Structure 1
Amino acid sequence: MFTDFALLRLLQLASPALPVGAYSYSDGLENLVETDVINNQKSLCMWLEQELQCGAIRLEAAIMLRAYDCTNSNNCEGLSYWNSWLTAIKETTELREQSWQMGGSLIGLLRDLQPQQKMQNLVSAVGKPCNYAIAFGLGAAYWQIDLKAAVLGYLHSWASNLIGAGVKLIPLGQTTGQKLLLQLDTRIALTTQEILTLEDEDLSSCGWGLSLASMAHETQYTRLFRS
């Protein structure tokens, strides 16, 4: 049963106010706007839908799910394995450091919020550096958040952050940003269902656009974001 307590913890974990630094990253979006690949609501929506269908965010959410399962079964070895696996698939330094920075911040926050020995043991098992998806899955499982709701929250948080970046960069109005978030509801729900059924051997993504945008971001003349 999805309790009131679990819902409140999910809202806290997925909130833009969570102090993990998500607002400072654009996942390559800054370069895509700079090069006019994305320049309006329609092109931003198409990009986000494409990422949800076949991009790296699917892998992130799938590994978050595995971290959730490992936490519930107290599988410390599994937590360490999937953390290393996620680090290995990052295609650029910026994307890797983003995941590490956000993950480290969330792990530190969870330690402060839940000082119980069980949380300390789980955090220690992951090791350093910790990827964000691993920390999110650990927190969701510890707080007994429904698995499907955790995936929905993870994807919704990602979409909200990138739409916020798009509102600033393109720029778009705040109302347009909210309309865009509503447009993604169906795609987020479908992606969640697909992720819940993925076997380990099915874990893959096709995100050349993100990789190229991330690599080009380093040499941009001006930058507002860290990725």
Structure 2
Amino acid sequence: MGTVDLAMPISLQPQALLSLLQLASSALPVGAYSYSEGLEALVEAGIIKDKLSLEHWLQQELQVGAIRLEAALMIRAYQATQAGDRPALRHWNAWLSASRETEELRQQSWQMGYSLGRLLQELQPNLAPVIQTCGEPCNFAIAFGIAAASWQIDPEAAVLGYLHSWATNLMNAGVKLIPLGQTAGQRLLVELQSCLSDATGAILVLKDEDLCSCGWGLAIASMAHEVQYSRLFRS
């Protein structure tokens, strides 16, 4: 991947900005709100118990966790879509499926990817061959990258939108589970802004040979959630 001048401001045409807002919106009907990505198990275990501990968990995930890897593969799907490189789309989709440590995380990625892929084909039928190239199942990050490229969203903005959507979903989960007040949740998002920006910069210059994550904490939390007796969130 080429280098990116992170000092340059993001410039989006109004249509591209509106498309990004739609793609990253919590109203997007892909079911993201029904998953906690292990947070429910962590709250029950007392590991995450307040805004500070939730913020620390999200910061660590952005720096070294699975979401960093997902966003890196999303941008590769974006580039493959732009280049018309369908073998690369299939490769990165299979790569992402193989990287998921638990059944719960894999099923989440596949279900959300299926929902987004179906929605995109309804909104823009000419995307059907591109999405179908990925095969079944298509991961959410791959479908997101296809949409962002097709809607001509700036790549840096696409990564920021992807990460912010993820952070917003887990903030909302924390508001329900810990519980946090709505103001505390919004303050958390404000305080994550620099971390989201730094993670975006790192992801955009990440080389293929450096694709990795330190996700053992998430994997253990996800496995615990799969067998948790009482759950609000989908497993």
Scaled to the shorter chain, the TM-score interval is over 0.9
The whole-number CA distance in structure 2 between the counterparts of 1:20 and 1:218 is 20
Aligned counterpart, 2:123: 113
The whole-number CA distance in structure 1 between the counterparts of 2:107 and 2:79 is 25
Structure 1 counterpart of 2:226, which letter?
E
What are structure 2's unaligned runs of at least 5 residues? 1-10
Q: Work out whether 1:32 is the aligned partner of 2:42.
A: yes
Deviation at residue 147 of structure 1 after TM alignment: 0.4
Aligned counterpart, 1:99: 109
SS of 1:134's partner is helix
SS of 2:169's partner is helix
Aligned counterpart, 1:51: 61
The whole-number CA distance in structure 1 between the counterparts of 2:128 and 2:123 is 11
When the two chains are superposed, the root-mean-square deviation of aligned CA atoms in Å is 0.7
Structure 2 counterpart of 1:45, which letter?
E
SS of 1:178's partner is helix
Structure 2 counterpart of 1:200, which letter?
D
Percent identity of paired positions between Structure 1 and Structure 2 = 63
1:83-98 to 2 correspondences below 5 Å: 83-98=93-108
Aligned match for 1:161, one of 164, 169, 174? 169
The whole-number CA distance in structure 2 between the counterparts of 1:31 and 1:212 is 9
Aligned counterpart, 1:3: 13
Number of aligned residues: 225
1:43-192 to 2 correspondences below 5 Å: 43-116=53-126, 119-192=127-200
Deviation at residue 221 of structure 1 after TM alignment: 1.4
Deviation at residue 29 of structure 1 after TM alignment: 0.3
Aligned counterpart, 2:6: none
Aligned counterpart, 2:33: 23
The whole-number CA distance in structure 2 between the counterparts of 1:32 and 1:124 is 36
SS of 2:37's partner is coil
Q: Which runs of 4+ in 1 moved over 2 A?
A: none
What are structure 1's unaligned runs of at least 5 residues? none
Deviation at residue 150 of structure 1 after TM alignment: 0.1
Aligned counterpart, 1:221: 229
The whole-number CA distance in structure 1 between the counterparts of 2:142 and 2:206 is 17
| 1:151-206 CA distance string (max 9 Å, x none) | 00000000000000000000000111000000100000000000000000000100
| 1:98-157 CA distance string (max 9 Å, x none) | 0000000000000000012xx121012111100000000000000000000000000000
The whole-number CA distance in structure 2 between the counterparts of 1:58 and 1:202 is 12
The whole-number CA distance in structure 2 between the counterparts of 1:45 and 1:29 is 12
SS of 1:181's partner is helix
Deviation at residue 220 of structure 1 after TM alignment: 1.0
